[in-house]
Amino acid sequence: EEEAYGISLSQLHNIEMGDYPVPVCLVDTGYALGHPDLPIMPPEVTGVDNPPTGYYERDTWRWDKDFDGHGTHSAGIICGTRENDIGIAGAGKIPIIITRALDDEGNGRESDVRSAVEQCKNAGAKIISLSLGGDVV
């Protein structure tokens, strides 16, 4: 049995959690669709492609691909499957909308992030999750 920060995994999976119908939109590096610990079907997970401007290859810029892993990790905190006794346990059955604003190395442009946030709003998200950082000039 694994323990993380003093909480055993089996105890964590036994905590009763309800369903939360408030849509959350994740703006990040994408989502590894098919990950064994994450939802794979609507209405629990949907996505919006956000092709960036400029130098990126548009056909590889899909919400359901995540070569960096950060977006998938962040999605797990929000909506990781609780009933499978593996890995992480997310906050509950939360509908999540994925839009990709960062490339395969986690880099992006302000204009792409702004566009992704707008897409989140248009998709009906009530909460938008952004994990952004970088150098300050």
Q: What is the mean pLDDT of the chain?
A: 80
**Domains in the chain: boundaries:** 18-130
Mean pLDDT for 109-129 is 93
CB 125 within 8 A of CB 23: yes
Residue 26 has which token pair? 């994740």
User: For residue 117, what pLDDT is reported?
Assistant: 95
CATH H superfamily, domain 18-130: Peptidase S8/S53 domain (3.40.50.200)
The rounded distance, in Å, linking the Cα atoms of 63 and 16 is 30
The yes-or-no verdict on residue 137 having pLDDT over 70 is no
CA distances to 4, 11, 51 from 54, in Å: 42, 48, 9
Give tens-digit pLDDT for 95-116: 899 999 988 888 888 898 999 9
- Output 4 or 74, whichever has higher pLDDT: 74
The yes-or-no verdict on residue 4 having pLDDT over 70 is no
Mean pLDDT for 54-76 is 79
Mean pLDDT for 38-53 is 76
The rounded distance, in Å, linking the Cα atoms of 37 and 72 is 10
